[in-house]
Amino acid sequence: MLKIVILDGYTENPGDLSWDGFEQLGELTVYDRTSLIDQDEIITRIGSTDVVITNKTPISAETINSCPSIQYIGVLATGYNVVDVEAARAKNIPVCNIPTYGTDAVGQFAIALLLEICHHIGHHSNAVFAGRWEACPDWCFWDYPLIELSGKTMGIIGFGSIGQTTGRIAKALGMNIVAYDAYPNEAGQEIAEYVSLEELFAKSDVISLHCPLFPETQGLINRDTIAKMKDGVILLNNSRGPLIVEEDLAEALNSGKVFAAGLDVVSSEPIRSDNPLLKAKNCIITPHISWAPKESRQRLMEVAVSNLKAFIAGDPKNVVN
């Protein structure tokens, strides 16, 4: 019987899902959390396990070399940079990820960030419950500029499935959509006009990031590219934190060049207390939860189990190495 260990299962399944799919495939051990930095703990918990499932716990070359029983590494996420995929390849260990599971959830969340910036619904609801409407001399009040999106232009950088989902929702709100992607496709042309990055920066009232993190996209949003944007642009990012040079964005928020930012990701997670965006004006930050609706996590679980079943059958799927 295969030995299966899940090193950090809590964020995927805090108790509202079931690990039964994995339990049916072998002897399962689930840890809610494993140290991200204690190599000895990671190696000890893997031990003589055949199948390692991780979300954010790193699987380094040292770990792979110290645990010769590993036959398979599954990642409970789309991103797989926590695994040394080359070291795994050298040992003929497939590394399998979950390529699509949260498309609708992440697109919905991007728009939720935008709508919160436009209306500050949470703030105004809290104000009502604090008694401010009851005490108001007028029949209504608002503490922030309220923004209508219809007729404005959204520029989407990275126009794959999530970018296109975001674009469809924004288009339904009456927005004009422009997009930049290294690989334009026909489906995208039905939603957006493909433009160069330079044109996107110049035209967009709202810019939403949905591109992967590669060396060429790291720091894509920086002082120079922000200077090319419209004054008062709104920036959204629920893709990858390092796409943004955070010091430069904080400066632009504080100067008003960028009107507001809605972020679900930052460069180092969990966020550090010295992150400059924590003190920037008009910046909404949520704790990387775009992916986390139960429906989305259930799909992730099903694909993770399916990946392992395919490996056991000798035909591994979603192999990234």
Q: Which residue range forms the structural domain that includes residue 43?
A: 3-101+294-312
pTM recorded for the entire structure: 0.94
Looking at the structure, do residues 31 and 180 belong to the same domain, yes or no? Answer: no
Work out the end-to-end distance of the chain between its first and last CA atoms, rounded to an integer number of angstroms.
25
Which tens digit of pLDDT belongs to each residue from 1-25?
A: 999 999 999 999 999 999 999 999 9
Q: For residues 4 and 28, is the Cβ–Cβ distance under 8 A? A: yes
Confidence category of residue 40, pLDDT binned at 50, 70, 90: very high
Using pLDDT thresholds of 50, 70 and 90, give the confidence band for residue 317.
very high
CA nearest to 166, candidates 115, 223, 120, 242: 115
119 assigned to active site: no
Tokens 């790193």 label which residue? 58
Please check whether residue 43 is in contact with residue 23, taking contact to mean a CB–CB distance below 8 angstroms.
no
Span 158-164, mean pLDDT? 97
In the structure, what pLDDT confidence band is assigned to residue 235 with cuts at 50, 70 and 90? Answer: very high
248 and 172 fall within a common domain: yes
| Interval 42-98: pLDDT, tens | 999 999 999 999 999 999 999 999 999 999 999 999 989 999 999 999 999 999 999
Q: What average pLDDT score do residues 209-213 get?
A: 94
Confirm whether 318 is domain-assigned.
no
* Same domain membership, residue 17 and residue 56: yes
**Among residues 124, 247, 288, 302, which one is catalytic?**
288
Residues 6 or more apart whose Cβ sits within 8 Å of residue 89: 95, 321
- Whether 317 maps to a domain, the answer reads no
Active site residue 299: no
3-class SS at 251?
A: helix
Q: Specify the pLDDT at position 33.
A: 98
> For the ranges 168-172, 182-186, 225-229, which has the lowest average pLDDT?
182-186
Same domain, 42 and 145: no
CATH number for 20: 3.40.50.720
| Same domain, residue pair 215 and 307 | no
Average pLDDT rounded to a whole number, residues 107-114: 98
- Res. 289 pLDDT band, cuts 50 70 90: very high
Domains held by the chain: number: 2
| Catalytic option among 86, 190, 269, 295 | 269
Confidence of residue 30 (pLDDT cuts 50, 70, 90): very high
pLDDT for 147 equals 98
Q: Which pLDDT belongs to residue 278?
A: 98
What mean pLDDT comes out for the span 290-314? 98
**Same-domain pairing of 215 and 308:** no
The answer on 218 and 155 residing in a single domain is yes
Q: Is residue 319 part of a domain?
A: no
Is 80 contained in some domain?
A: yes
Residue 93 domain-assigned (yes or no)? yes
Specify the pLDDT at position 287.
98
Within a domain: 39: yes
Same domain for 194 and 60? no
240, 246, 297, 299: the active-site residue: 240
Q: Is residue 321 part of a domain?
A: no
Let me know whether 232 and 299 are in one domain: no
pLDDT value of residue 69: 98
The 10 Å Cβ neighbour count of residue 272 is 10
Confidence of residue 240 (pLDDT cuts 50, 70, 90): very high
- Give strand pairing partners of 5: 29, 52
Active site residue 240: yes
Q: pLDDT-based confidence at 155, cuts 50/70/90?
A: very high
Q: Quick one: 256 and 134 in the same domain?
A: yes
Q: Is residue 275 a part of any domain in this protein?
A: yes
Mean pLDDT, range 106-126, rounded to an integer: 98
Burial of 4 (0-12, 13-18, 19+ CB in 10 A): buried
159 lies in the same domain as 220 = yes
Contact 22, 6 (CB under 8 A): yes
* In a shared domain, residues 163 and 183: yes
